[in-house]
Structure 1
Amino acid sequence: MATPTKRLTREYASIQKSPPPYITAHPSDKNILEWHYILTGPPDTPYEGGQYWGTLMFPSDYPFKPPAIRMHTPSGRFQPSSRLCLSISDFHPKSFNPTWEVSTILTGLLSFMTSEEMTTGSVRASEAERRLFAQRTRWWNSTGGGSKPTGSQNGGSRQQTGNIRAGDGGAKFKLEWPEVDEENLKWMQEKRIDPTTGLPRPPAPSSSQQPACSLDVSGLRRRPGTSATVVQDAAQIARDSGWMSRHRWKLVLGAMMVYIFVARVLGEGALSSSA
């Protein structure tokens, strides 16, 4: 009878040689019974492009009993790090088929994820919410949700084996997926993702952009070969010309009134002298 170690070693070689679509997985270096997987959100689903990290914790009598299945990355589909009640998980050991392999388990998990069936550990969310989760999965995996290591979690209480909580600063993910973590950090830099929020930073102002001059100043720029006095005189002329242009009708009307007044005075003077 094959031991769990021999069985899982053979399955690891198989999944490396022929990985299922949108799935990658490997056992932990320290414990072959602890497997880490990443599901890539398939196209035409609310999870498209998302990077969903989780664990499979196999029992010592595998393959006669199934593993505990958890997904740590927030997805809007499952409660992060909660054990999932599936026919292929440890919730239903009697329904597990010993011929099923790791690839079978993860393919079943991906299929269930893209459905709307509810079970223990699943949650309801809108499509828009799930798409937003998908956009932030890389950030969450490599930063632990923007958090930093804080020591013990949950008030110092012991966690269940396999649980991952926001607060580890992405340390566990980096330990298990160093190359993927490096790619995520580069992606965050390229997309200008704020590591504390997971949201894009506002674009930086371009150094080529020059502040616009005000209209008054732009018309009085000093040109080569001209003195400051000439510029000031030109400015005064421009202001005077502008005032005359704005009030030309008033000037014309005033001139006409003065002309009429003078004409009347001269006319009355002529009549007096003739009398």
Structure 2
Amino acid sequence: MATPAATKRLTKEYATISKSPPPYIIAHPSEKNILEWHYILTGPPDTPYDGGQYWGTLMFPPDYPFAPPAIRMHTPSGRFQPSTRLCLSISDFHPKSFNPAWEVSTILTGLLSFMTSEEMTTGSVRASEHERKLFAQRTRWWNSTGGGSKQSSLLQNSNSRGIGAIKAGDGGAKFRQEWPELDEENLRWMKEKQINLQTGLPMPAHTQHGPCSPEVAGLRRRPGGSATSGVGAVVQGGQVARDVGQSWLSRNKWRIVFGTLFTYILVARMLGDGAVSAAT
């Protein structure tokens, strides 16, 4: 339970951050517990996280601001282990280095700055820029669906336990509870983009040429290119060529037969006439 001082301080900070949120940051306390804050970081432009929707929590101690919060990011990002306590100078890993003058906005601005750097710490992970961009594209889906319907092994680690940890596969229930407007917005976005709710990826377009467009067929190739797809194309092309050839022969076989017979008679007659002339 929060002390009166912590309640007063956090209430004031909520009013401040609601009125003037820092760039790419929004946050609010849970209705049931003022010590549990939920934030959304929007990936800044010119970063691998551009446009991503990163949801996380700050769990404040009862004696805040004299001790720092536990910081977690639940949305998979390719930068942090999901729902894992992060070791930062502004987190509960380093209570002695925390400055009581720092506010929620200060903490989240520091988190965003650390996220867009490459510095490593407890709870951070390495990933390529391409991988982080793919994570960014699926953040809305993950937040509003919980990353699927089954418990994921992605979060099975010691630091993901404790108050504030979120389990994958909850169907997005916790996110929906804390961010109902964003959840509705995400669902509309997924419908417009035709996002598969099981995978978070766009559903393949069905065309009149078949159930699989060339673009989707290309996604099924093995990473890095595969000789198998090339061989398949050659075999398929050869089959088409054979079909075309057989079709032409079927349509013109009698013409070919009569033409061959006529040519044979003509040549034989010419050779016969030549032999008679030579004899006379």
Give yes or no for TM over 0.5.
yes
Give the distance between the partners of 1:21 and 1:161, measured in 2 at CA: 28
Task: Give the SS at the match of 1:3.
Answer: helix
- AA paired with 1:187? W
Residue in 2 that maps onto 1:122: 124
1:248 paired to 2:250 = no
1:257 paired to 2:259 = no
Give the distance between the partners of 1:27 and 1:206, measured in 2 at CA: 51
Residue in 2 that maps onto 1:142: 144
Give the distance between the partners of 1:256 and 1:149, measured in 2 at CA: 83
Task: Give the SS at the match of 1:37.
Answer: strand
User: Structure 1 regions of 5+ residues with no counterpart?
Assistant: 208-213, 216-237
Task: Give the conservation status (yes or no) of the 8 Å contact 1:37–1:53.
Answer: yes
User: Structure 2 regions of 5+ residues with no counterpart?
Assistant: 210-242, 245-249
Residue in 2 that maps onto 1:210: none
Task: Give the SS at the match of 2:262.
Answer: helix
Q: In the TM superposition, what is the alpha-carbon distance from 1:205 to its structure 2 partner?
A: 2.1
2:9 to 3, 7, 10: 7
Q: In the TM superposition, what is the alpha-carbon distance from 1:239 to its structure 2 partner?
A: 5.3
Residue in 1 that maps onto 2:43: 41
Give the distance between the partners of 1:79 and 1:185, measured in 2 at CA: 25
Give the distance between the partners of 2:265 and 2:144, measured in 1 at CA: 81
- Taking structure 2 as the reference length, the TM-score comes to 0.75
Give the distance between the partners of 1:186 and 1:251, measured in 2 at CA: 73
- AA paired with 1:64? F
Task: Give the conservation status (yes or no) of the 8 Å contact 1:149–1:169.
Answer: no
TM-superposition CA deviations, 1:96-125 (whole Å, max 9, x none): 111111111000000001111111111111
* Residue 259 to residue 129, structure 1, CA distance change in 2 (3 Å): closer
Residue in 2 that maps onto 1:198: 200
Task: Give the SS at the match of 2:37.
Answer: strand
Residue in 2 that maps onto 1:58: 60
Give the distance between the partners of 1:110 and 1:159, measured in 2 at CA: 23
- Taking structure 1 as the reference length, the TM-score comes to 0.76
**Large movers: runs of 4+ above 4 Å:** 259-268
Larger Rg: 1
Residue in 2 that maps onto 1:80: 82
Q: In the TM superposition, what is the alpha-carbon distance from 1:6 to its structure 2 partner?
A: 1.5
Task: Give the conservation status (yes or no) of the 8 Å contact 2:48–2:132.
Answer: yes
Give the distance between the partners of 1:66 and 1:262, measured in 2 at CA: 114
Q: In the TM superposition, what is the alpha-carbon distance from 1:255 to its structure 2 partner?
A: 2.7
Task: Give the structure with the larger helix fraction.
Answer: 2
Q: How is 1:155-234 mapped onto 2 (pairs within 5 angstroms)?
A: 159-206=161-208
CA RMSD of aligned residues (A): 3.3
Q: In the TM superposition, what is the alpha-carbon distance from 1:263 to its structure 2 partner?
A: 8.8
Give the distance between the partners of 1:162 and 1:120, measured in 2 at CA: 17
Residue in 1 that maps onto 2:107: 105
Q: In the TM superposition, what is the alpha-carbon distance from 1:250 to its structure 2 partner?
A: 4.8
Q: In the TM superposition, what is the alpha-carbon distance from 1:68 to its structure 2 partner?
A: 0.7
Residue in 2 that maps onto 1:227: none
* Residue 201 to residue 248, structure 1, CA distance change in 2 (3 Å): same
Task: Give the conservation status (yes or no) of the 8 Å contact 1:143–1:195.
Answer: yes
Task: Give the conservation status (yes or no) of the 8 Å contact 2:151–2:168.
Answer: no
Give the distance between the partners of 2:175 and 2:31, measured in 1 at CA: 13
Equivalenced residue count is 240
Q: In the TM superposition, what is the alpha-carbon distance from 1:244 to its structure 2 partner?
A: 2.8
Give the distance between the partners of 1:116 and 1:2, measured in 2 at CA: 39
1:29 to 14, 28, 31: 31
Give the distance between the partners of 1:263 and 1:68, measured in 2 at CA: 109
* Residue 100 to residue 193, structure 1, CA distance change in 2 (3 Å): same
